[in-house]
């Protein structure tokens, strides 16, 4: 968890693009909403929010295709 937090802090500090992927189940929607709202307040760089609405649950092949296209 600590390495992920350090990476997130670096991206916020340097205003790098952040992709936030959330699942469509109850805990996925809740956590994506909370973290997305927080990041919108502290991050001046680009924030991309992606949910699994159109795909299967979780980090499925279609979601991986989408995330691999984000540069």
Residue 39 lies in domain: 2-68
Q: What is the pTM of this model?
A: 0.78
The model's confidence at residue 54, banded by pLDDT at 50, 70 and 90, is: low
The model's confidence at residue 67, banded by pLDDT at 50, 70 and 90, is: confident
Average pLDDT over residues 41-56: 83
Domain count, the chain: 1
Which element (helix H / strand E) includes 38? Answer: helix 26-42
Can you tell me the distance from the alpha carbon of 5 to that of 42, in angstroms, rounded to the nearest whole number? Answer: 14
Can you tell me the distance from the alpha carbon of 71 to that of 69, in angstroms, rounded to the nearest whole number? Answer: 6
């Amino acid at each position: 968890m600590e390495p992920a937090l350090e990476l997130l802090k670096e991206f916020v500090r340097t205003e790098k693009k952040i992709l936030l992927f959330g699942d469509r189940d109850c805990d996925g929607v809740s956590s994506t909403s909370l973290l997305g709202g927080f990041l919108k307040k502290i991050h001046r760089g680009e924030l991309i929010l992606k949910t699994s609405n159109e795909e299967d649950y979780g980090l499925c092949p279609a979601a991986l295709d989408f995330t691999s296209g984000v540069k």
